[in-house]
Amino acid sequence: MDTNMDTNMENTSFDYEKIINSMTCGALIINYSTTITFEYANDYFFDLLGYTREEYNQLFNNNLTPRIYNDDIQRFRAAVSRQLSMSGDIRYEFRIVKKDGSIAWVLLNGKKRFSTEHMLIYASIVDISEMKELYHTVAEKNLELDTIYHNIHGGIIKLCTTDLRVTSANDGFYKLINYSKEEFLHKFNNTLADLIHYKDMEKLTHFINSDTYNHELTLRVVGKDNKITWLYINASRIGSTDGKPIYLCTLFDVTDKTAAVLAITEANKIKPIELLIANA
C-alpha cells in the first residue's frame, strides 16, 4: 500500500513537471534576497535566454540579476520591493540580455510566499518583445498623425450640437479664432456659439435643428480684439455621446474670398445706378 502511494506521488510529480515544462511561459521560484536567485526554473526560461540549465548554473549560479539589462536592475529591485511591501503581488516589465547578446522585453507576474527560512516568489515570465515593438510602432504612427492633425491647414473640431460645445480641436482651430486653448476654455467654456456673429445666429440655429448628417455653412466668428473672420464649415455627424449628436467639422478661413464676392455684389448693385445717371 505504501509502495503504491509512493509510486503515485512520483508519477504525479513527474506529470506536473511535464506540464510546467510544456508551458509557453517561464515558471520560476525566486529566492528574493540580495542576489535574487531562483530555486527552480522550467525549460521555457532557459530556452528564452539561450542557455542550458547546466550552463546557467555554472556561469551565474542561478542568479537572475546578471541577465537583467543593466539600466533596468535598480528599477527592477525598487519596483519589486515596493510591490511586495504593498500587496505581495508583482507585475513588472523589464529587459533581459540573452546569450547571443540580443535584448528581450519580458513581463514578470508573481506572488510572494514564505518558507521557514526566507521569502519566495512564485512567478511566471513572458516574452513581450513583439508587443512592445508593436506598441512603439503604433505610438510613432500616432505621433505622425497627431503632427499632421495639428499642422493641417484650417481647423478641425468635434462639436456637440446640443450645447454647441467643442469637445476637441486642433491647433488650427485656435489660430482661426485667435484665442489660445486655455483662453477659449476659461472665457467661453469651449462654447462655439459665444463666438458667432449675431447676424449669423439664424444659420447656426438651422444647423442645430436639422436632422441631416452633413452640413455646409459659411458664417462669421468674432475673435480676439473683435476681429471678424468668415469661416466655411463642413460638418458630418459621426455619432453621439449620451444621446447628444457629435459632428466632425472642418473649418477654413474664407474672409478674403467672401470680401471679394461681397465687393463684386456691391459693384453689380451700383453699376445699374451709374448707367441710369449716365443716361439721364
Q: Are 248 and 236 in contact (CB under 8 A)?
A: yes
**Whose CA is closest to 71, among 33, 105, 24?**
105
Residue for cell digits 475673435? 223
Averaged over 127-154, what is the pLDDT?
81
- How far is it, in rounded angstroms, from Cα 247 to Cα 190? 15
Averaged over 268-272, what is the pLDDT?
51
**Whose CA is closest to 108, among 36, 17, 14?**
36
Whether the per-residue pLDDT at 277 is higher than 70: the answer is no
Higher pLDDT, 262 or 195: 195
Averaged over 77-101, what is the pLDDT?
90
DSSP β-ladder status, 26-31 and 103-114: unpaired
**Whose CA is closest to 236, among 217, 264, 260?**
217
Q: How far is residue 189 from each of residues 135, 158, 228, measured CA to CA in Å?
A: 35, 15, 20
Higher pLDDT, 82 or 270: 82
Q: Give the burial string for 21-43 (b: 16+ CB within 10 Å, else e).
A: eeeebbbbbbbbeeebbbeebbb
pTM to 2 decimals? 0.53
pLDDT of amino acid 9? 39
pLDDT of amino acid 210? 81
Higher pLDDT, 63 or 132: 63
Whether the per-residue pLDDT at 174 is higher than 80: the answer is yes
- How far is it, in rounded angstroms, from Cα 133 to Cα 30? 28
3-state secondary structure of 158: strand
Kindly report the backbone phi and psi dihedral angles of residue 215, in degrees, each rounded to the nearest multiple of 5, phi listed first: -140, 150
Q: Which of 6-10, 131-135, 238-242 has the highest mean pLDDT?
A: 131-135
Kindly report the backbone phi and psi dihedral angles of residue 182, in degrees, each rounded to the nearest multiple of 5, phi listed first: -70, -40
Q: Are 233 and 251 in contact (CB under 8 A)?
A: yes
Sequence-ordered list of residues with C-beta below 8 angstroms from that of 219, at least 6 positions apart, any chain: 196, 197, 200, 203, 204, 230, 231, 233
Q: How confident is the model at residue 183 (pLDDT cuts 50, 70, 90)?
A: very high
- Share the mean pLDDT of the chain: 83
| DSSP structure class, residue 176 | H
Q: Are 163 and 240 in contact (CB under 8 A)?
A: no
Among the residue ranges 30-44, 119-133, 136-150, 158-172, the one predicted with the least confidence is: 136-150
Among the residue ranges 11-15, 87-91, 213-217, the one predicted with the least confidence is: 11-15
The pLDDT > 90 percentage for the chain reads: 39
pLDDT of amino acid 6? 47
